């Protein structure tokens, strides 16, 4: 049975005296919850002007990771083709290089998307110099399917690297067909016992450099 707190004379405190005490206890509890939440730390990038950072839905097959942050260019018809995704991996990883290799995939563009890529008024491939490429679209689609069947064929061997929070392993891929390139950079690193997976995808080499620079700024803010 729960009893109201008593005064020194043994009588229950009146309601008007108990309310400030209860408010104080609630404030202490809220402060404790805030402290416990921030103690874990926040994973962040230094995001320059022209880019945005937000948490996006990023499902993983088999619950391999949870989404942390997605960075994209702001505006432009092709902003959606460039992204940097940070995820926290579920569980431990024994072989980082093998883990990265198993996650190399190439998103095969369907025919409608490929057609838009070469005909959109804002597309860098919409110029008349690419007329021959547009005529060869069916063959390019088949090339895309081949890339999907053998994704690691277009990747370098994993290499080591370093950023603000320590050592990392990186796998870089460059899928090329005609004038089009899909750049993919995958990173994996252990930060205080937690594994983080960073994925960069873009079709623009200049954007690739920008996104790698942002990825290099990864830090955990306590």
CATH architecture of structural domain 44-107+151-221: 3-Layer(aba) Sandwich (3.40)
- Work out the average pLDDT over 148-162: 84
Asked if the model's pLDDT at residue 182 lies above 50, the reply is yes
Task: Select from 46, 52, 41 the least CA-distant residue to 217.
Answer: 46
pLDDT in tens, 197-208: 999 999 889 999
Checking if the pLDDT of 210 tops 80, the result is yes
pLDDT tens-digit series, residues 76-87: 777 888 999 999
The whole-number pLDDT of residue 132 equals: 74
Taking the CA atoms of residue 204, residue 218, residue 105 and residue 80 in that order, the dihedral angle to the nearest 10 degrees is -40
State the Cα–Cα distance between residues 122 and 112, nearest whole angstrom: 16
Coil, strand or helix at 87 = strand
| Per-residue model confidence as pLDDT tens digits over 69-118 | 999 999 877 788 899 999 999 988 999 999 999 888 765 445 565 666 66
**Which helix (H) or strand (E) segment is 171 a member of?**
strand 166-177
User: Looking at the predicted structure, is the pLDDT value of residue 120 above 50?
Assistant: yes
Q: Which is higher by pLDDT, 122 or 43?
A: 43
pLDDT above 50 for 39: no
Show the CA angle centred on residue 68, arms to residues 199 and 95, nearest 5°.
50
The chain-wide mean pLDDT, for the chain, equals: 75
| pLDDT of 150 strictly over 90 | no
Q: Is the pLDDT of residue 211 over 50?
A: yes
Mean pLDDT of the region 185-200: 95
């Amino acid at each position: 049975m729960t009893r109201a707190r008593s005064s020194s004379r043994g009588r229950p405190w009146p309601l008007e005296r108990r309310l400030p005490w209860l408010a104080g206890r609630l404030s202490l509890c809220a402060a404790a919850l805030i402290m416990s939440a921030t103690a874990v730390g926040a994973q962040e990038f230094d995001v320059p002007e022209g880019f945005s950072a937000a948490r996006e839905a990023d499902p993983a097959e088999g619950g391999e990771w949870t989404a942390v942050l997605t960075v994209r260019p702001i505006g432009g018809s092709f902003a959606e083709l460039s992204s940097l995704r940070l995820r926290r991996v579920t569980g431990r990883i024994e072989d980082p290089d093998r883990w990265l290799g198993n996650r190399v995939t190439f998103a095969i563009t369907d025919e409608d998307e490929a057609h838009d890529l070469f005909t959109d008024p804002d597309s860098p491939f919409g110029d008349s110099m690419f007329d021959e490429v547009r005529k060869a679209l069916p063959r390019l689609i088949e090339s895309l399917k081949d890339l999907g069947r053998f994704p690691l064929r277009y990747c370098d061997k994993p290499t080591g690297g370093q950023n603000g929070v320590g050592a990392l392993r990186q796998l870089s891929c460059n899928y090329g067909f005609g004038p089009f390139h899909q750049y993919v950079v995958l990173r994996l690193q252990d930060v205080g016992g937690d594994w983080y997976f960073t994925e960069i995808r873009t079709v623009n080499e200049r954007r690739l450099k920008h996104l790698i620079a942002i990825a290099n700024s990864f830090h955990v803010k306590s």
